[in-house]
Structure 1
Amino acid sequence: MANKNVHVVPHGDQWHVLREGAHEPSSAHDDLEDAIAAGTAEAKQDTVELLVHGRDGQIRMRNSYGEDPRGVKA
């Protein structure tokens, strides 16, 4: 599923790594850190953005591993 951003989202007591538009997670983890590591690897592989959601559903962190969609240059 290239070109689809990767999201880390809470699901019950676990954290799921989920591609935009997917119905099933690509992986499930007990620890947030493990889910972020798995999501980062997927995002880097496909040069897309990683978005990490908190338990409240709000985006807590985002990293771009390809073309930055916001076009911000440091």
Structure 2
Amino acid sequence: MTKKNVHTVPSKGGSGWDNKVGGEVVSHHHKKETAVEKGRSIARANEAEHVIHDKGGKIQQSNSYGNDPNPPKDQR
């Protein structure tokens, strides 16, 4: 796999959750928690961004496991 973002999204059929890389389903899970864990491991292995969506398809959370182009600024 190339360095593309991993998206954890509800499956099209409404029966579970999918992890997609480049628009292609790479894993399917019955529970969201399991899908998020697998998506995280795929993103870490590829040093990519992991984007987690809610049931409505909106972005709920995003985590970077590679070279973050916009790292958080320290407020010290």
Question: Do they superpose with TM above 0.5?
Answer: yes
Q: Match for 1:28: what amino acid?
A: H
Whole-angstrom CA distance in 1 between matches of 2:26 and 2:7: 10
Does the alignment pair 1:50 with 2:50?
yes
Aligned with 1:25: secondary structure?
strand
- The answer on 1:26 being equivalent to 2:26 is yes
State the identity as a percent. 39
Matches within 5 A, 1:1-74: 1-11=1-11, 12-19=14-21, 21-22=22-23, 24-74=24-74
The alignment covers a number of residue pairs equal to 72
Cα deviation per residue 1:21-70 (whole Å; 9 max; x = unaligned)? 33x31110000000000000000001000000001111001110011132
TM superposition score normalised by structure 1: 0.88
Distance, in Å, in 2 between the alignment partners of 1:4 and 1:49 is: 7
TM, length-normalised to structure 2: 0.86
Aligned-residue CA RMSD (Å): 1.2
Question: Is there any run of 5+ residues in structure 2 with no aligned partner, and where?
Answer: none
The ranges of structure 1 where at least 4 consecutive aligned residues each deviate by more than 4 angstroms after the TM superposition are: none
- The amino acid across from 1:57 in the alignment is G
Gaps of 5+ in 1: none
